[in-house]
Structure 1
């Protein structure tokens, strides 16, 4: 016998269908909640099938974001073999059926049948470091998106209060710039002070003894900007309230992003592969951490082409009869975050010809008439092959 349990996971609960062997369902579909009592009953369900077949059953389930985390941790603790499949594969299997049925019970049954029809590989644990790294890099990406949105809102409000403030400080979003603006948000509040007072205020915010000249220059630019400003006071007090809230929000985002950045770097430095991936010109600390976190254990892929498919940068194929398409888009069915990291790595490598091998390959593709994005994706494909070789051989990249 070859027992398996198909598991359809949803928020807070799952439906399980057991098979003692191919084409032989065992019992009825079993529903359990993701709490202690529910998982305990699922364990008895597993043990009952194991006792009947005299073999330890495998468990097949779809990747469902964080919904399946309680079940996975439970299976690791006991330990049962489990297989996590891409939802796209199960969706394709459902499409091949004549009857279109979509229920949790039917999904659990279909997942169990896939175990016998498809060549599914057991899930290999990524390890605590990689799982933590993935979570942190994704949190960083999410928080960065919110930070960018807050910056856009901040600029919109600033343009209605103190538009000439842009360009006073080298970085509008530096702590000194934001904190000064929080204290003096209008041109009138700036012009009410002397040049010396403004310099002292900036000096105090900077906190460096040797910044007197820089503070004086900023004060002079600030006063000049206040004099050019089209209005002294805003006609809408609500703008000042919004500006204060957004400044505080931006400072909080900066603090949280800095903490995440430190945590990511500290965790990534525990991995040998971290330095190996950074040996490729154009790949810095953040991109390297994201690439490692998204790939996980490299031994999940026995060929570079499988890693390319996982990233979703493999070309789609379309042919019918004697016709075969020659211009195909990439599949985009893999990890979006990995694709983004590879794209950034290629752009960094091309900038200033930092990565000469990538630059040469890019120039070759452009000379062949490829469009910019097509050439960059080709470079990303090439880059991922190098990363696969580096991670499997445990050798640093050699730039010819």
Structure 2
């Protein structure tokens, strides 16, 4: 007996459709999307099985953020369903939408969507199973939250730079030091007017920078000089406008520092979880516990993938072919599909690895010099694609990184 169960999940309920191997509908019903509803779903499914021998039992649902998480984990870990070899699959909604196009004149209803999901399973497409270990689930929530915090902090920094250009329009051009360093932040929090900064004794400004920068400036007097040069060459604002810019900059600094503090707390939690996981990714120079966690949390068990090409496609690190007749386009765009969290951590890891591993540095330089535009972005993504092969090999073999392995793969 072969059974295929499709679930269309919403925040309130789950539409269920059960098909046999011939595509006949054995049952269709609705349960609430909570623990009692999932328990009832399991009982009705077991009633459908009865005393029959089950060869295949697949349960599928679309990935719909938190709505699909709880039922998928409940069904996956249920001991009664494990007896029948139940496998739970969480699928990309785009795959289901494309599959549905093969059915003509079909309406859009939740009941029909549950049938489509069950039929998609019946046709034996390659589905991705849910993450099996609780550690991966916990790690994934942390790394995804960190990703969101990084994005919000980046946006806030852009907001800060925009208003800094109002207050001192040549600052970024003249000052060769990070605007977001502690010394610079403290300087902006002092709310000096441009006139006050311009007439501040150079030695006093240099001493301020050195103190707030914790003696990390090699030549604080040079930095102080560049700041005063920027101040003197910038446009002057009315006092009421300049005061408003000071308030905005001060508020923005506090927001940025809050994000930085939150990211540090998440990093601590990630490192603590990673200490309990056995893996070899951190043996790669440039990959620490955070980048390793972001990659492992999204991949889960590596045996979910047939090979490294499937991992790359899952991350969206592949390029669509554009061919018509004898024409094959040379300039093709990176796919917009895939797991953007995994893609982010792979690209960030690749950027770190290429600075420390000669093979990856040489590969990046080669790809950088091949094109006249988008050089860094293209070279970095291609380096990330190369890194996928190494990540896949290390996770499958449980071996430590060696330079020779990095060259051969």
TM-score by length of 1: 0.80
1:36-56 deviation per Cα after TM superposition (whole angstroms, max 9, x unaligned): 443344344334323375659
| Residues 295 and 370 of structure 1, relative CA distance in 2, 3 Å threshold | farther
What is the DSSP-based 3-state SS (H/G/I as helix, E as strand, rest coil) of the residue aligned with 2:346? helix
Q: Is 1:325 equivalent to 2:304 in the alignment?
A: no
The aligned residue for residue 123 of structure 1 is 129
Q: Is 1:391 equivalent to 2:395 in the alignment?
A: yes
Contact 2:128–2:304 under 8 Å retained in 1: no
Structure 1: stretches of 5+ with no match in the other structure: none
The aligned residue for residue 257 of structure 1 is 263
Contact 2:308–2:392 under 8 Å retained in 1: yes
| Separation in structure 2 between the aligned mates of residue 361 and residue 163 of structure 1, nearest angstrom | 38
What is the DSSP-based 3-state SS (H/G/I as helix, E as strand, rest coil) of the residue aligned with 1:358? helix
Structure 2: stretches of 5+ with no match in the other structure: 405-409
Contact 1:22–1:113 under 8 Å retained in 2: no
| Separation in structure 1 between the aligned mates of residue 189 and residue 367 of structure 2, nearest angstrom | 50
Q: Post-superposition shift, 1:300?
A: 0.7
What is the DSSP-based 3-state SS (H/G/I as helix, E as strand, rest coil) of the residue aligned with 1:242? helix
| Separation in structure 2 between the aligned mates of residue 285 and residue 200 of structure 1, nearest angstrom | 37
Contact 2:31–2:38 under 8 Å retained in 1: yes
The aligned residue for residue 78 of structure 1 is 78
Q: Post-superposition shift, 1:168?
A: 7.0
The aligned residue for residue 92 of structure 1 is 98
Q: Post-superposition shift, 1:393?
A: 0.6
Q: Is 1:66 equivalent to 2:66 in the alignment?
A: yes
1:1-400 matched pairs, under 5 angstroms: 1-27=1-27, 29-51=28-50, 53=52, 58-76=58-76, 78-79=78-79, 80=81, 81=86, 82-119=88-125, 123-163=129-169, 170-187=177-194, 230-231=235-236, 234-236=239-241, 237-273=243-279, 276-317=280-321, 323=326, 325=328, 327=330, 329-351=333-355, 354-361=356-363, 372=375, 377-400=381-404
| Separation in structure 2 between the aligned mates of residue 245 and residue 315 of structure 1, nearest angstrom | 42
Q: Post-superposition shift, 1:5?
A: 2.0
What is the DSSP-based 3-state SS (H/G/I as helix, E as strand, rest coil) of the residue aligned with 1:272? coil
What is the DSSP-based 3-state SS (H/G/I as helix, E as strand, rest coil) of the residue aligned with 2:240? coil
Number of residues paired by the alignment?
392
| Separation in structure 2 between the aligned mates of residue 159 and residue 368 of structure 1, nearest angstrom | 35
Q: Post-superposition shift, 1:177?
A: 3.1
Contact 2:90–2:130 under 8 Å retained in 1: no
1:230-264 deviation per Cα after TM superposition (whole angstroms, max 9, x unaligned): 54863324333323322221221221122222222
| Residues 357 and 247 of structure 1, relative CA distance in 2, 3 Å threshold | closer
TM-score by length of 2: 0.78
Which segment is superposed worse, 325-334 or 4-13? 325-334
| Separation in structure 2 between the aligned mates of residue 92 and residue 101 of structure 1, nearest angstrom | 14
Q: Post-superposition shift, 1:107?
A: 0.7
| Separation in structure 1 between the aligned mates of residue 250 and residue 362 of structure 2, nearest angstrom | 49
| Residues 217 and 117 of structure 1, relative CA distance in 2, 3 Å threshold | closer
What is the DSSP-based 3-state SS (H/G/I as helix, E as strand, rest coil) of the residue aligned with 1:3? strand
| Separation in structure 2 between the aligned mates of residue 174 and residue 367 of structure 1, nearest angstrom | 32
| Separation in structure 2 between the aligned mates of residue 97 and residue 232 of structure 1, nearest angstrom | 64
Q: Post-superposition shift, 1:387?
A: 1.4
| Residues 104 and 219 of structure 1, relative CA distance in 2, 3 Å threshold | same
What is the DSSP-based 3-state SS (H/G/I as helix, E as strand, rest coil) of the residue aligned with 2:60? strand
Q: Post-superposition shift, 1:8?
A: 0.8
